[in-house]
Amino acid sequence: MKIIKLLNNTTTNPTSKEKHPNLSISIDKYNENLTERIDKFTQLYQNPKDIDVGRTEHQIIKETNIYRLLHYKPIFKRPIKTPILVVYALINRSYILDLQGDKSWIKNLLYQGFDVYLIDWKPPTVNDKYVNFDDYVNEFIDDCVNLIINQGSVDKITLHGYCMGATMSVMYTTLHQRKIKNLITLAPVIDTSKDFTVIGNFGRTMNVDRIIDSVGNMPPQLLRTCFSALKPFKQGMNKYFTLLEHIDDKKFVQNFLRIEKWLYDVPPITGEVFKQWIKDIYQNNLLAKNKLKLGSKIIDLSKIFIPVLNIVADEDHLVSPEGSAALNNLVSSSDNRLMRFPTGHVGLIASSYSQLNVLPRVGKWLFSRSDK
Amino acid sequence: MIDSVSFNENSNIPFEVVLEKYQEFWKKFSNIPKFSPFSLPEETSNLVQNLQDLLLITSKIQYFNLNYVSQINKTYTEALDKISPNKSEYSIQSEHDLKKYRTFLLGTLEESFTNLFQSREFGILVSDLMAAYSEYNKLLRNISNPYLLSLNLSSKDDVDILLKDMQELKREVRNLRKSIDIILSEDNQVAK
């Protein structure tokens, strides 16, 4: 009511009209255009046309019911010898790393001369509810690493994870370090005692056993409920105003829809993984305490000695930057680097900013540590 | 008298007391003898128990939902209170003013809601709400299980046992496969 009162006071107040006749016309014109834009906006959401994502040329070299291993076609005839395996998170879908040509993380790495593979996790079914982190790390990631090593005739690869995928990459490296030459993490969840985000708060108070025992896998609807609490107005609502303002800009609309598609493309997470994620990592902080168990093995971060590059977004509201940065103090690597960037969780990987500022520095760091 | 207890926003009776009285009321039905010529069959007693729990959990969901909505409404009101319509700096005369005002409005709402979502109390409320919905699903399952059995269909619990065993077997196969790979590679090295 207050907002309406305010708008009435300011836009239709005769005194203001008398004082600023031209400006009032401008507001009327704006309102007229707004109606037209809202019509276009409604049509856009009612009839979304094909939204193309993940278009960089690739080959599927392995496919199971859990994942697809993609190999991107190198740009150069002789790419850098040490291949990169990108491990995506189990939240949303991996095409955010190859959203569109000018903002593709993958494509940029290819243009820097690297040989890139990606694990594209498929949505788990009800039959996968007992698949846990031990399976993801010690079976699925390990199988992919072995396949790449055999296919590329190399001894070691670079492991490169994003978000939850970065956390899994860290787990993998502690157990299979002899196969890894470099570890690159983007916004990993490590020390949750330093996490003061909304997600951290929900995670710490969640009765996860009760939920999972009832639903099997963590359903997308519940995950979306949690995500909608992240910046609900500045991002959740303001983006639609921005879209209205640029509704006639085809390129802007296409880019917007790609991100929108990704945001709402939330697969379920297997029940066992979600339980471990919430109880062991968010509630008991076992990863940072070096007490997390995968199968019969303990994940001890101090056993990591290989070169580590940890990339953190200072405006990340999903994964606390301080919680991510803790990794550098927990590993034993002498070649241990932390890079911080003034951007957000998605801006770190899928923006013009990351193309101009993040990727060149990542490429430079990795180039000097890879076999040519 | 339990009949006189009504749970609405004007009532001063705490929700826990309402639940307690409700449970006392239902206990009378649960106390019907199970072994006597006039007893109810076990299936019927179980059904009565499940229906009782179902009603209990739906009232809990209602309670948590009301609490959730009132928290959200309260936060909206508090945020809008911070926006005074009389302040001259928010007078909207141009498109630029409108954008400036919008940024201010969304910023104020954002701040209030983020404070709410980051509070432990709200986290617990969301957890309670999710757990109550989960409990509701579980009860529906308990009610449907006897009918599935009579139709010679597996219940969810039966399927769960199978899925768990299957996953364990897969892990054992994986470990065996890896052990064989290690032995083979050692043999190859010896042969070289």
What pLDDT does residue B34 have?
A: 67
Span A256-260, mean pLDDT? 90
Percent of chain A with pLDDT strictly greater than 70: 91
Catalytic site residue A20? no
In words, the CATH class of domain A58-367 is alpha beta
Catalytic site residue A71? no
What pLDDT does residue B83 have?
A: 77
Full 3-state SS string of A275-286: HHHHHHHHHCCC
Chain-chain contact of B117 with A295 (C-beta, under 8 angstroms): no
B19 near B56, Cβ under 8 Å?
A: yes
Catalytic site residue A176? no
What pLDDT does residue B5 have?
A: 38
Residues B17 and B15: their CA atoms lie apart, in Å, by 5
Max Cα distance, chain A (Å):
79
**pLDDT one-digit tens code per residue, B30-74:** 666 667 776 777 777 788 788 888 988 999 999 999 999 999 999
Is any Cβ of chain B less than 8 angstroms from the Cβ of A64? no
Chain-chain contact of B94 with A23 (C-beta, under 8 angstroms): yes
Instruction: Show me where the domains of chain A are located.
Output: 58-367
What pLDDT does residue B122 have?
A: 92
Between A172 and A42, the more confident residue is A172
pLDDT above 70 (res A293): yes
Residues A268 and A215: their CA atoms lie apart, in Å, by 11
Catalytic residue among A58, A71, A160, A345: A345
**pLDDT one-digit tens code per residue, A301-340:** 999 999 999 999 999 999 999 999 999 999 999 999 999 9
- Tell me which residue of B83, B68, B79 sits closest to B109, measured CA to CA: B79
pLDDT above 80 (res B154): yes
Which strands sit side by side in the sheet containing A84-87, from one edge to the other?
Answer: A58-63, A67-72, A116-121, A84-87, A157-162, A180-186, A308-313, A336-341
B113 near A201, Cβ under 8 Å?
A: no
Separation in Å, CA B158 to CA A76, A272, A341, B163:
54, 18, 50, 9
Percent of chain B with pLDDT strictly greater than 90: 31
Q: Could you tell me which residues come within 8 angstroms of residue A315 by beta carbon, excluding any fewer than 6 positions away?
A: A342, A343, A344, A347
pLDDT above 80 (res A196): yes
Cross-strand partners of A312: A340
**pLDDT band with cut points at 50, 70 and 90 for residue A4:** very low
Q: Which residues of A touch B157 (CB under 8 A)?
A: none
Between A15-19, A87-91, A199-203, A360-364, the lowest mean confidence (pLDDT) is in A15-19
Between B15 and A260, the more confident residue is A260
pLDDT above 80 (res A109): yes
Residues A154 and A301: their CA atoms lie apart, in Å, by 25
pLDDT above 80 (res A372): yes
pLDDT above 90 (res A97): yes
What pLDDT does residue A15 have?
A: 43
Percent of chain A with pLDDT strictly greater than 90: 68
Max Cα distance, chain B (Å):
89
**pLDDT band with cut points at 50, 70 and 90 for residue B150:** confident
pLDDT above 80 (res A110): yes
Between A70 and B4, the more confident residue is A70
What pLDDT does residue A49 have?
A: 67
Span A97-110, mean pLDDT? 94
pLDDT above 50 (res B190): yes
Span A77-101, mean pLDDT? 95
Q: Please, which residues 105-124 of chain A have a Cβ atom closer than 8 Å to chain B?
A: none
**pLDDT one-digit tens code per residue, A28-67:** 666 667 788 888 877 777 776 678 888 899 999 999 999 9
**pLDDT band with cut points at 50, 70 and 90 for residue A229:** confident
Cross-strand partners of A69: A62, A119
Between A3 and B179, the more confident residue is B179
Residues B171 and B173: their CA atoms lie apart, in Å, by 5
Instruction: Show me where the domains of chain B are located.
Output: 2-153, 155-192
Q: Considering only the beta carbons, identify the residue of A3, A201, A202 that sits closest to B105.
A: A3
- Tell me which residue of A329, A321, A350, A363 sits closest to A102, measured CA to CA: A350
Q: Considering only the beta carbons, identify the residue of A27, A198, A213 that sits closest to B117.
A: A198
Average pLDDT, chain B: 82
Residues B163 and A171: their CA atoms lie apart, in Å, by 25
Residues B62 and B58: their CA atoms lie apart, in Å, by 6
Query: Which residue does chain B place closest to A16, by CA atoms?
Result: B93
Q: Which residues of B touch A295 (CB under 8 A)?
A: 171
Between A122 and B137, the more confident residue is A122
Strand, coil or helix: what is B152?
coil
Catalytic residue among A163, A191, A195, A280: A163
Strand, coil or helix: what is A357?
helix
Note the pTM of the prediction, 2 decimals: 0.85
